[in-house]
Structure 1
Amino acid sequence: MDGLPKGAPLPKWVKPELLPTIQAPTLLIHGRDDRVVSFETSLYRLANIPNCRLVLLNRCGHWAMIEHADEFNRLVADFIANN
């Protein structure tokens, strides 16, 4: 992961042109105070992945599954149950 030790932005792991080809229902959970991945990244994915849902958690950083474990687990369980 070049750049991380030098303070550069995180590399993009998925080619943007492939996002519209994702066929599975997709759930994005983003912490409002995340300083690792910008909220704009999730907004971009939301706009480009068909059948995508984004949940923004207030007072939450990068580790939503730890910082808001109960809510995170409920969101994931509900998403799986309904998709």
Structure 2
Amino acid sequence: MADKTEKKKKGFFAGVKGAFARFAKYFRDTKSEVKKVVWPSKKQIINNTCIVLVVVVIAAIVIFLLDSVFGLVLDLLLKTAG
């Protein structure tokens, strides 16, 4: 028979210690990645917010107009059919 190498099992506390080490590494890595982020300036934030608001208003107007037109067309179809 071939020799089987058995893995040595860790104890409970060794597993817990390893888990805490992984959590600590995760937070260290996260902190280092956040330091690399290039944050937008206040002017860029205001500009982007204005653009988003304008696009939302335009989309709302388009949806309102389409809803009104389709509602009128449906109303006319139902009146002529009935």
Same fold (TM over 0.5): no
- Report the TM range for the smaller structure's normalisation: under 0.3
- TM-score, normalising length from structure 1? 0.20
- TM-score, normalising length from structure 2? 0.20
Where is the strand percentage greater, Structure 1 or Structure 2? 1
Q: State the structure with bigger RCO (CA 8 A, min sep 6), 1 or 2.
A: 1
- Select the structure of larger CA radius of gyration: 2
